[in-house]
Amino acid sequence: MLVLTRKLNQKIMIGDSIEVMVVEIRGDRVRLGIAADKSVPIHREEVYNAIQDQECEPQTA
């Protein structure tokens, strides 16, 4: 895992097309803004896991 330190309004780039920016720091919470092509799915971990669980369920007809 790569661990980076960023300050408010600083960004990191993932590849050439994904930009992550620190937009707010309030107490122990950090808000991130993510800019990426619409074709790139972006989800919070719990939403991603729910999608994966749903895709693994057997389909009934």
25-61 per-position pLDDT tens digit: 999 999 999 999 999 999 999 999 999 999 887 766 6
Query: Which pTM value belongs to this model?
Result: 0.78
Domain borders along the chain are 11-56
In the block, which residue shows the tokens 């972006």? 42
Q: Which pLDDT value is given to residue 61?
A: 62
pLDDT of residue 3: 96
User: What is the DSSP pairing of strand 29-35 with strand 18-26?
Assistant: antiparallel
CA torsion 51→4→23→45, rounded to 10°? 10
pLDDT of residue 47: 97
Res. 4: pLDDT tops 70:
yes
